[in-house]
Structure 1
Amino acid sequence: MKLLIQLSLILFVSTCYSQASLNKAERLFKKNAFKSAATTYNEYIENADKVSEETLLQAAEANYNVNNNRKAAMLYERAYNMNANLDEENLYRYVRSLRSVREYKKADRVFLQFLENNDKPKVKEQFIKERDSFYALLNSSKESRYTISNSTINSEYSDFGPVLYRDSLIFSSSRPGAAKELYLWNEQPFLSLFVSEKAENGMLEKPTLFSKQIKSDFHDATIAFAPNSHVVYFTSSHTEKHKLILDNNRSNQFVLYKATMEDGKIKNKEELFFNSKEYSAGHPSVSPDGTFLFFASDMPGGYGQADIYYSEIYKDGMLSEPKNAGPTINTAGNDFFPFLASDGSFYFSSNGHVGFGGLDIFEASFNNATKSFSDVKNIGKVANTSYDDFSIVFDDDVTSGYFASNRPDGKGDDDIYHFTRKPLTCNQVVSGNIKDQKDNNNLADVTVTVRDSTNAIIHTLITDANGNFKVTIPCNNTITLTATKPDYFEQTKDAQTGNKDQGITDPVNFILEKATDMIVKDEEGFEKIKMDPIYFEYDKANITPQAAKALDGAVKLMNFYPNMVIKIEAHTDSRGSDSYNLSLSDKRAKATQEYLYSKGIATNRILSAKGFGESRLLNKCSNGVKCSDEEHEKNRRSNFIILEK
């Protein structure tokens, strides 16, 4: 009996201790003291015989919020096995936890099942598209464009949010020495802004507190500078009389301030008009031309948790009403840390788009005129990991910059990394087909010579059996393609490549004319140059534009056969007097001769140029015979008779 009583007492004490531990964890959770809450929940769950779904979900969320992703994924899985119909918020966190520990396939299955159960076809379509792009990126052997190095200024605390300002870098940090209070969420000091001078190769000098005027006892983080002005925007905890302003859930929000910076001091500080104690606004960034303020906020009406917004900055400094960046950028997760680079590329961090896990850095482009964003793409390995990678900024030349990450090879919590980026490899395919002008058959074995803008040969191609060719050319290049084949006239065309990697230009097709197709035999067996009729104005021998076009065909053939010798004969119809027609035809023959000379044909290559008037009619239409215009036209002709070839 005594033993039973002792056992009962032990069980009772153990149960009381367990309940007290749970109560403590719940109190900490309600205070957003997630680091302590996670520790307490984990100890409770480890020793408890039975744990409710609600407790598992709260414990999972606490671990998730302090980046204990492995533990969070395990706890969410236990809750999911108890009830597969998790609410959307917990389901999304479960999926993100799985991705953070690289359980990509499992994360995909869980999320697709959720989308099926909740009839979200558009979200499913977008997810599958992003998922396929992610796996192509994950499995690619292509070398990353990014080379990174950990900055010397990092501490064991959280260092992030780099901003380039003149020859220095300003960043947010929870390192001791600035804020007096501890932030319960992660038990680190509240954030403050620090500045560090830039040295060679992206190295940074010892940081100091940025501005005493910004400093408060709470969060002071993420700053942006309007170009060519003294205006700054920055994020701080919402306070009044040095006390935190709390919302209805007893939470404090971030707000955005505008100020001017003069002689290193912050002046004229004022809140932006869209701030609220019910939601946060932060992570400001100003476009390079100073016309847009980008920021993140969880204000009502968004697509998920934090969304990216922008306001136009008018010339007098007034801001427009914020506009959501839209579903191309924003997701059901967190989308923040916007940055518009000088080349128009728009960067932001997200855990809602499909990525490697945690926050990934994504890229789009922003059109100032239409205020629209292009499709989003992940910037890839090295820059992104299964941990949080975020708050990227670029130098003006867009070849280097800084970002933050909590990857395990760092010095502390979040670390600032310097990076350099190789220029983007961009190529497009130029292709075409070559046919014979006479019979429209495909021409094989045609040589296609490709020259760049300096006329240097960069490729030489041969068409295949179907007359096709293709070549890869760098983006944004003008090239010249020349098609040559024995017995055919050479032909040249220009082409322009675009700016999309792996794009395909419009086909560059050729129709080549065989030189011998321009040589015909007359009734007497003499070879002549086949050409369009040469038209002269009435009673004149001047070369008209139409006549010049026809004569250029003769020039082309004579240049193809450099030893060709010809004689020119001009004939008229029978209308008009014999002497007039003889004189006019002779003038026209000699005019055509002079035109060929003017085009570079040597004088010794034209044996004669003579007019015969109406003396050599081809039909019955002599003097006094009534004929149609068409019959008379047959007699009006110029013959270029080939004597040598």
Structure 2
Amino acid sequence: MKNTITLLLLFTISISFSQSSTKKADKLFDRMWYKEASVLYELELNKIERRNNTDNNTNYANLLKRAGDAYYFNTDMENAYRWYDKLVSGFYQEVDAEYIFRYAHSLQGIGENRQAKRWMKEFAKRTENKDDRSPKLNQKKITIEDILNIEPRFVLKNVSTNTKYSDFGPMYYKDKLVYSSAVDSSTFHTRIYHWNEQPFLNMYLGELNQIESDLKLIDEFSNKLNTRYHEATLAFSPDQTKVYFTRNNYNGNLGRDNKGTNHLKLYSADLRKNEDSVLTWQNVKELPFNSEDYSVGHPTVSKDGKLLYFVSDMPGSIGATDIFVVDILEENANNKTQDSTYTGYSKPRNLGEKVNTAGREMFPFITNNALYFASDGHLGLGGLDVFESTIIDSSFQKPQNLGAPLNSKLDDFGFIVNEEKNKGFVCSNRLTGKGDDDIYSFIRLPKEDVLCEQKISGYVTNTITGERIANVKMTLFTETGKTLETTTTTQAGAYTFKTVLNCATKFKVTAAKTGYESTEKPVLTLNENGETLVVLGLETLNELIVEEKGVLKIKIGIIYFDLDKSYIRNDAAIELNKIVLLMAQYPQMVIKIESHTDSRNSDAYNLSLSDRRAKFTRDYIISQGIQANRIESAKGFGESQLVNICADGVSCSETEHQQNRRSEFIIVKM
């Protein structure tokens, strides 16, 4: 996609001059004349290599980067790999993660998928898996092999209107197709875009044949919209009386920012009758969120006409270019989303990290069912790949690579589809085409033939302590409340249901355990084969209720007894009253009391003393109105269950001995 990516992705046409070959190459690079820049970079690199001045040479490393980038941004992955390979081989420790990614991407582009996978792991390591383009170690990883194994669903055909130049950006218009082309349609003087020595892009109208698998050129789409510079990628309102299209920042003159860069802008026009009562495109105007400092382009309109999606590198972008959306509003409408800065539109919103990545997202196309777009940030086969993000409950799901043959080693983009007919068009610069970028028609095989299933697993934690909880009853329900399966968490607090659900299916998981507040969580299974992880948190019914080593207990302050005594002191009564109130609050609660002593004195004496203390404690709770049958037992264990090393003959402090003098209130049932 040798001119389209640069024009519509990198968004720059910078004008500058220099004398040295390296500086001249840099200037050509900045103007996006990558082909010319790459020649000069190679000349400089050859000079350095002939002088054997390549070791620890910062200038050499920078030239390798530039040479690789010149081919990479021109989607010449074979030559990009050639220079990136020297960069990584010679400067492995110093090279930053971005060039590891580009090296891996170039390897994908030449079909070296195994090596690409190895370098993607290195990229993940260097970015600590925080970059969206790196595989996530704690989730199911989608690998190149997974994408290569996707069942083919598309049958492609190169359309007859393709030329030796760039042809791309198709969009349905009534019963026809509008697309962009650099075909030379000039009668007199052809204006050439020097980056690729092709005529400037304009929009053309094509006639679809009866089966919509081929195209016949009719004429320019509109001489009112086409100018002497680039126009491309457009979208229509549902009634097709308004068009949104991409154009250079041009209104009689090319507008540039303070660096001399000419950015892209979005424009709109209305279909109106002229003075001769002929319908023409009129009232061309900029959209209010354009800027001299960044680019906006690649429009697509929702089927209800309420949302306009587009691509930009505006502030707030996650990566090189992101997909944004605005609400289309009636001008001067009393709408909360109205912003005086963006008359007729809401403030642009980034679609977020689920769709956008640190890479480049381009060419969106929205339907009622899904968002389709091209990206080199999500894992693909090389260059740009086409992805599908299905829409469920107004939310975009994790994008899925549509696989080969729709996607290839090079750039694949500009996907549009008639969902009802399962037919559409896509663009590619694959080597089997007629020219630079070609338009392909396709037939899409029914999705029902593709089986997609999800297992459900997860774990349960204490929301206060974060500890995993064992023996929690887990139940899986359908969206309508039908019980599908019940299981119990393991000692590690984990669970897995045997029931397998369809992808993108709503369901509910509940968690329940004695002493805890039950909880439930509605969940939507992922839209890919694999496993949906559902984590739930439980809180105890009362802050006095705790779980220690799987045993539910009532935790109060220490019950103090006088030395060698077992009667209840006033300070002990205050703590025991907390248990009385708790048991009154939960009338089904049954407990047992266990008392312990330290190791000082004889075993027999301690056993007898602890037993008397346990029974005095029981009697006090009963005296406060709690039924006797709600205390299952009251038993002393003496010094037989010490919690530390302070056994007979061991020297310990008073504080350490006090840890062993304790009473425990264990919940038997509630």
User: Is the TM value for this pair above 0.5?
Assistant: yes
Report the Cα offset of residue 297 of structure 1: 0.4
In structure 2, relative to structure 1, the CA distance for the partners of 1:250 and 1:405 (3 Å cut) is: same
In structure 2, relative to structure 1, the CA distance for the partners of 1:336 and 1:130 (3 Å cut) is: farther
Contact kept, 8 Å, 1:234 with 1:284, in 2: the verdict is: yes
In structure 2, relative to structure 1, the CA distance for the partners of 1:249 and 1:108 (3 Å cut) is: farther
2: CA distance between counterparts of 1:175 and 1:269?
24
Number of equivalences: 425
In structure 2, relative to structure 1, the CA distance for the partners of 1:381 and 1:134 (3 Å cut) is: farther
Q: For 1:106, what is the secondary structure of its paired residue?
A: helix
Report the Cα offset of residue 311 of structure 1: 0.7
In structure 2, relative to structure 1, the CA distance for the partners of 1:47 and 1:500 (3 Å cut) is: closer
* 1:290 is the counterpart of 2:305: yes
Give deviations 1:206-244, integer Å, cap 9, x for gaps. Answer: 242111111111111111001025111100000243x22
In structure 2, relative to structure 1, the CA distance for the partners of 1:194 and 1:23 (3 Å cut) is: same
Contact kept, 8 Å, 1:281 with 1:295, in 2: the verdict is: yes
- 1:322 corresponding residue in structure 2: 348
Report the Cα offset of residue 95 of structure 1: 3.0
Give deviations 1:107-131, integer Å, cap 9, x for gaps. Answer: 3333432442343447487555899
1: CA distance between counterparts of 2:258 and 2:439?
35
In structure 2, relative to structure 1, the CA distance for the partners of 1:131 and 1:90 (3 Å cut) is: farther
1: CA distance between counterparts of 2:135 and 2:503?
31
The farther-off stretch of 64-73 and 19-28 is 19-28
* 1:35 is the counterpart of 2:46: no
2: CA distance between counterparts of 1:68 and 1:125?
23
1: CA distance between counterparts of 2:182 and 2:138?
38
Superposed counterparts of 1:82-101, under 5 Å: 82-84=90-92, 85-101=94-110
Q: For 2:238, what is the secondary structure of its paired residue?
A: coil
Contact kept, 8 Å, 2:132 with 2:377, in 1: the verdict is: no
Match of 1:351 among 376, 381, 392: 376
Q: For 1:288, what is the secondary structure of its paired residue?
A: coil
Superposed counterparts of 1:248-327, under 5 Å: 248-262=258-272, 263-315=278-330, 318-327=344-353
- 2:630 corresponding residue in structure 1: none
1: CA distance between counterparts of 2:67 and 2:530?
49
* 1:423 is the counterpart of 2:423: no
Contact kept, 8 Å, 1:306 with 1:336, in 2: the verdict is: yes
In structure 2, relative to structure 1, the CA distance for the partners of 1:60 and 1:315 (3 Å cut) is: same
Give the counterpart letter for 1:225 in structure 2: F
Match of 2:402 among 376, 379, 382: 379
2: CA distance between counterparts of 1:269 and 1:430?
49
Report the Cα offset of residue 73 of structure 1: 1.4
Report the Cα offset of residue 27 of structure 1: 3.8
Superposed counterparts of 1:70-219, under 5 Å: 70-84=78-92, 85-121=94-130, 123=132, 126-127=135-136, 132-140=141-149, 143-177=151-185, 180-201=190-211, 202-219=213-230
Report the Cα offset of residue 180 of structure 1: 4.3
Contact kept, 8 Å, 1:426 with 1:499, in 2: the verdict is: no
Contact kept, 8 Å, 1:211 with 1:264, in 2: the verdict is: no
1: CA distance between counterparts of 2:502 and 2:119?
43
Give TM-score scaled by structure 2 length.
0.58
Report the Cα offset of residue 305 of structure 1: 0.3
* 1:409 is the counterpart of 2:418: no
2: CA distance between counterparts of 1:41 and 1:237?
28
- 2:61 corresponding residue in structure 1: 53
Q: For 2:413, what is the secondary structure of its paired residue?
A: strand
Q: For 2:82, what is the secondary structure of its paired residue?
A: helix
Q: For 1:77, what is the secondary structure of its paired residue?
A: helix
Report the Cα offset of residue 499 of structure 1: 11
Give deviations 1:359-392, integer Å, cap 9, x for gaps. Answer: 000001235x64x311111011100011100010
Q: For 2:67, what is the secondary structure of its paired residue?
A: helix
The farther-off stretch of 87-96 and 224-233 is 87-96
* 1:227 is the counterpart of 2:238: yes
Q: For 2:107, what is the secondary structure of its paired residue?
A: helix
2: CA distance between counterparts of 1:470 and 1:112?
33
Q: For 2:35, what is the secondary structure of its paired residue?
A: helix
The farther-off stretch of 322-331 and 131-140 is 131-140
Report the Cα offset of residue 137 of structure 1: 3.0
Give the counterpart letter for 1:226 in structure 2: S
Report the Cα offset of residue 294 of structure 1: 0.6
Report the Cα offset of residue 86 of structure 1: 2.7
In structure 2, relative to structure 1, the CA distance for the partners of 1:78 and 1:427 (3 Å cut) is: closer
2: CA distance between counterparts of 1:204 and 1:134?
36
2: CA distance between counterparts of 1:210 and 1:130?
48
- 1:626 corresponding residue in structure 2: none
Give the RMSD, CA atoms, in angstroms: 3.4
Gap regions ≥5 residues in structure 2? 1-18, 55-59, 273-277, 334-343, 456-497, 506-524, 532-670
2: CA distance between counterparts of 1:406 and 1:58?
23
- 1:637 corresponding residue in structure 2: none
Give the counterpart letter for 1:259 in structure 2: A
Match of 2:72 among 47, 64, 71: 64
Give the counterpart letter for 2:362 in structure 1: F
Report the Cα offset of residue 28 of structure 1: 2.2
In structure 2, relative to structure 1, the CA distance for the partners of 1:116 and 1:388 (3 Å cut) is: same
Q: For 2:87, what is the secondary structure of its paired residue?
A: helix
In structure 2, relative to structure 1, the CA distance for the partners of 1:240 and 1:88 (3 Å cut) is: farther
Give deviations 1:295-336, integer Å, cap 9, x for gaps. Answer: 000112211101000111125592111100110110111101
* 1:247 is the counterpart of 2:240: no
Report the Cα offset of residue 500 of structure 1: 6.9
Give deviations 1:35-68, integer Å, cap 9, x for gaps. Answer: 2111232344345424611112111111122222
Give deviations 1:469-522, integer Å, cap 9, x for gaps. Answer: 99999999xxxxxxxxxxxxxxxxxxxxx9978799xxxxxxxxxxxxxxxxxx
Higher relative contact order (CA 8 A, sep 6+): 2
2: CA distance between counterparts of 1:207 and 1:130?
51
Q: For 1:66, what is the secondary structure of its paired residue?
A: coil
The farther-off stretch of 350-359 and 44-53 is 44-53
Q: For 1:107, what is the secondary structure of its paired residue?
A: helix
2: CA distance between counterparts of 1:27 and 1:176?
27
Q: Determine which structure has the larger helix proportion and give its number.
A: 1
* 1:361 is the counterpart of 2:386: yes
1: CA distance between counterparts of 2:27 and 2:139?
39
In structure 2, relative to structure 1, the CA distance for the partners of 1:334 and 1:32 (3 Å cut) is: same
1: CA distance between counterparts of 2:401 and 2:238?
28
Q: For 2:215, what is the secondary structure of its paired residue?
A: coil
State percent identity of aligned pairs.
Answer: 34
Give deviations 1:538-564, integer Å, cap 9, x for gaps. Answer: xxxxxxxxxxxxxxxxxxxxxxxxxxx
In structure 2, relative to structure 1, the CA distance for the partners of 1:392 and 1:474 (3 Å cut) is: closer
Give the counterpart letter for 2:200 in structure 1: F
1: CA distance between counterparts of 2:454 and 2:143?
28
Give TM-score scaled by structure 1 length.
0.60
Q: For 1:28, what is the secondary structure of its paired residue?
A: helix
* 1:395 is the counterpart of 2:418: yes
Contact kept, 8 Å, 1:385 with 1:407, in 2: the verdict is: yes
Contact kept, 8 Å, 2:135 with 2:142, in 1: the verdict is: no
- 1:547 corresponding residue in structure 2: none
Give the counterpart letter for 2:282 in structure 1: K
Q: For 1:295, what is the secondary structure of its paired residue?
A: strand
Q: For 2:217, what is the secondary structure of its paired residue?
A: coil
